[in-house]
Chain A
């Protein structure tokens, strides 16, 4: 820990208190990233990747609540802040791009109106200055004829353009951190590549950190410094992109990587899925949540949650398999 982290989430626990009971969406999640770094969070639907990022912005949807842990961002202690204090940070120091650009812009206001709104909210700029800045932002995100676009409504733009507008809104106040919640999922493949390229280019220019939430391993492989793999509200593996792809430790990570289609696959070769379905977070099992789907499941996996095993550097995983290896090597002392 030589220099400070921009984001440092420690042991976050978050639950949704539904009429059916407490849904433990996050249990003991710790992530951190430095300024200018790109962290990928991967996992399947409901694994808690979006919930983690949203909680950092105070956007946890009712009836969700942070019930433990600390969330530090840019010298703010998020879990202790009031809604009013959070409002000053949102859209200003931390911004977010959502999955579906088709529905994320308000249909009844012009693009210009929606960009100017956030600029005027967080900076002291007057209408003219804000408008000039909005035009500049549209140019920055690669939209041609910005003057004309400002006066257009979202429905007059294509999906890719709308996502560029969302990026422009997110970057309006030059945030320290940009959260991208599956920003390319709803776009077609060629546009996906363009948007990712744009995000990387802007990151270089503006120097912000990015948390990239996705279930597309191809996306994280190309742009992330570090990757957190989430499963059932837990970080099951964390490491650099190389470590995750070349030395995956957790059986779930291995399964994910095996399920990526290969370009050199033989004809009629089937993809390898991960069998089974995710656990019910309303009644999580006492042991490792992945155990019921894990090929290497042992008896202890069903009974107890494994402790963290640390490998080179920051590479960590939570799996009994590695505890066993360590144990057999004689390096594990109770």
Chain B
């Protein structure tokens, strides 16, 4: 079986980088209590690149195998790049048909837990004073 690092290290490729980080961690708390396998078929022109992700109670293994999985996730490379860098929401991509999920929907929903949020999201916003709220009064 190829090791996790084999073939995952192409520099400045966000998809390879994303899977390399997953593989390196070996364990993700957000997957604890969950087990599933997913295969990602990423189309780059005529070529299809594959990653295989196995989750076993939080333990994560990534390979480039072309094996069976609970869910097959298909997308074009530019869109999948946007998804793994947080620039495109996976659920929205699915509704737009940019991401196609076959097999276990539960596995797909589990996977999206490890995706990053949009770049620039800070979790913070400036407070609004009562005076400002009162000045924006809406029709009764």
Is B one of A's binding partners?
Answer: no
